[in-house]
Amino acid sequence: MSNSGKNFSVTFLGTGTSQGVPVIACGCEVCQSNDPKDKRLRVSVLIEYHGKNYVIDTGPDFRQQMLRENVQSLEALIYTHEHKDHLAGMDDVRAYNFKQKKDMEIYCSEAVEKALRREFYYVFEANKYPGVPAVNLNRIDNSPFRINDMEVTPVEVMHYKLPVQAFRIEDFTYITDAKTVSEEERAKIRGTKVLVVNALRREEHISHFNLEQALEFIRDINPEKAYLTHISHLFGKHEDIEKELPENVFAAYDGLHIEMNH
């Protein structure tokens, strides 16, 4: 994917839940839909910033997403939390190791690092098997950090009782797997022009915003535009979701590309 001379853009690589949409063996109308916007891979975004590419979360569909968007180079991976649907595809950074002839930079919390070392133990062994991924772990906390010339501000949200890191880059904030956000952390988000936030379904859920809670959160933050992601098959068809959203709120879909002006 080319940067097209723009400084900052975002592409939705996946907008689905941990099972994706369609769900295996499900016969519901959403899973049987022929609308491409109802085909949702596991949740992830590609950030293009000053000509360099960064990916937030590598779910089980990472390889497929990189091929679909023709991502020829990748600077770093940034992780929100340690759940499988957010890190299962990390092994496929091998292709970029080979092409770029360098380790892949990974930015993650201590909890995510522990999960990566457990799930991909062979990457971190003293005597590595030839061809395993080559990575360089960079520990992050709740303080702002820089990757090249891009400043990233972590925002802690709660996924039931699990801390998850959302990220703000300039006027763009990306939040997935949130159920509650403290006022202190909301203060970091205020002023955001484009807000991405999870909205699992209409019904209440123990660890995710439902539609009502996501819209309430969006009203509080008051961005120019907001996009819903981490959408389950229980939410309904894309075209039906869009009909009931406020004029500045949209249901994101796989492949959606937005340009950020800065």
pLDDT digits (tens, 9 = 90+) for 135-174: 999 999 999 999 999 999 999 999 999 999 999 999 999 9
Q: How much is the pTM?
A: 0.96
CATH superfamily entry for domain 8-257:
Ribonuclease Z/Hydroxyacylglutathione hydrolase-like (3.60.15.10)
User: Which residues does 237 contact at the CB level (< 8 Å), separation at least 6?
Assistant: 29, 30, 33, 35, 38
| Residue 38 near residue 236, CB atoms below 8 Å | no
Give the tens place of pLDDT for each residue, 166-200: 999 999 999 999 999 999 999 999 999 999 999 99
Count of CA atoms in the C-beta half-sphere (13 A) of 252 = 37
Strands 150-159 and 145-147: antiparallel
Count of CA atoms in the C-beta half-sphere (13 A) of 126 = 0
Q: How many CB atoms lie within 10 A of CB 124?
A: 15
Q: Domain locations in the chain?
A: 8-257
C-alpha distances in Å from residue 223, one per residue of 72, 141, 197: 32, 25, 11
One-letter identity of residue 16: G
